[in-house]
Amino acid sequence: MSQTDDSESWDLEIEPASGFFDLNWREIWQYRDLIALFVRRDIVATYKQTILGPIWFFVQPILTTITYVVIFGNVAGISTGGIPKILFYLAGITLWNYFQECLMKTSDTFILNQNLFGKVYFPRLAAPISVVISNLFKFFIQLGLFLVAWMYFLIQPENDVNPNITLLLFPLYVLLMSGLGFSFGVLISSLTTKYRDLRFLIQFGVQLLMYGTPIVYPLSIVPEKYRLLLLANPITSIVEAFKYSFLGEGYFSWLWLAYSFIFMVVCLLLSILVFNRVEKTFMDTV
C-alpha cells in the first residue's frame, strides 16, 4: 500500500458486484490455480479411504446397467429400438450421470463451503466451476467403458449399431450437459441458502427428471401426444442425439438441440442473476 496526502491507493480492492450480471471473468481466470486445487480435492476426496478407490467409477455404471437390463429390458420388456440392451442403457447412463453429478454437487456449493467462504476471499463461482471440471474426469472414465462396449458390438458380424457423422457433435453434447447441470446447480445452491427445504426435494426432483428423459426407453416408443412434452425437457434432445450419433437409433433434431442451447443460456443468465444477489448476503442467511 502506498499513501498520499489526500487519499489512499491499494494494490487490490475487493468490492461487491454492481450489477445483476456482473461477474469478473478475468478474476476467475486469475484464480485458475485455486480451481485446479479444488478439482484435485474433489477427485481425491471422493474415494479417499475406500477399498476399491477409482474402480467405483466403473462399478456404478456397470451395476446400474445390469439393473436396467434386468428390470426394464427383461421384466418390463421395454424396447430399445433394436440396439443391444447393455449398450442402449450404458449410453444413457453415461451422459445422465455427468449431468446429475454436476447438478447435485454444485447445488451444495454454499452449504459445503460456508466455512471456507467465511474465512478467505476468492471468486465464489470457482467452487461450482471446479465441480463441473472434476466431474469431467469421472465422465471420461465412464465414457471409456461405454466406448469399449460400443466397439465390441460394432465389430460383431450382425449388429444394429450404426454410428454416423454427427459423432463430431460430441463436444457439443458435453457442453450442453455441463452447462445445464452447472446452471441448475448454481440456481438451486443460491436458493437453498435461504430455503433449506429445497435440499430435500432435489434428489426426488432429479429422479423424476430422469424418468422424464429417455434414458431407460427410446423416444420412438412414446405416444405422439406425449412426445412434445418430453421434448420440452432440454435434456431429452441431447440424450437422443447422443444415442443417434453413436448407435444410429434416436431422435436427432437441429431445432431441438438449438432449443436446448437457448434453454441453457437463459438458465445460466438466471442463475448468475440469483447468484450475484445471494453472494452478497449469504453469510448472514446460511
pLDDT number for residue 1:
46
Q: What is the mean pLDDT of residues 194-220?
A: 83
Task: Give the model confidence (pLDDT) of 90-140 as tens digits.
Answer: 999 999 999 998 998 888 777 777 777 767 777 778 888 888 998 998 899
- DSSP 8-state class, residue 7: -
Residue 236 lies in a domain: yes
Answer whether residue 79 shows pLDDT above 70: yes
Residue 16 lies in a domain: no
Question: 86-101 in b/e burial notation, b at 16+ Cβ within 10 A?
Answer: bbbbbbbbbbbbbbbb
Answer whether residue 204 shows pLDDT above 70: yes
Task: Give the model confidence (pLDDT) of 173-182 as tens digits.
Answer: 999 999 999 9
Residue 50 lies in a domain: yes
Round to whole Å and give the CA distance between 103 and 122. 22
pLDDT number for residue 177:
95
Q: Report residue 216: phi and psi, to 5°.
A: -100, 5
- What mean pLDDT, rounded, does the chain reach? 83
Which residue(s) pair with 8 in the sheet? 3
Answer whether residue 230 shows pLDDT above 60: yes
Residue 18 lies in a domain: no
Residue 19 lies in a domain: no
Residue 110 lies in a domain: yes
Residue 139: C-alpha distances to residues 23, 116, 178, 247 (Å): 28, 27, 11, 19
Domain region containing 162 = 27-285
Task: Return the minimum-mean-pLDDT range out of 17-31, 90-104, 238-252.
Answer: 17-31
Residue 127 lies in a domain: yes
Number of domains present in the structure of the chain: 1
Q: Is 13 exposed, middle or buried (0-12, 13-18, 19+ CB in 10 A)?
A: exposed
Sequence-ordered list of residues with C-beta below 8 angstroms from that of 168, at least 6 positions apart, any chain: none
Q: Distance from CA of residue 142 to its chain's centroid?
A: 14
Residue (of 236, 242, 208) closest to 222 by Cα position: 236
Round to whole Å and give the CA distance between 183 and 176. 10
Residue 142 lies in a domain: yes
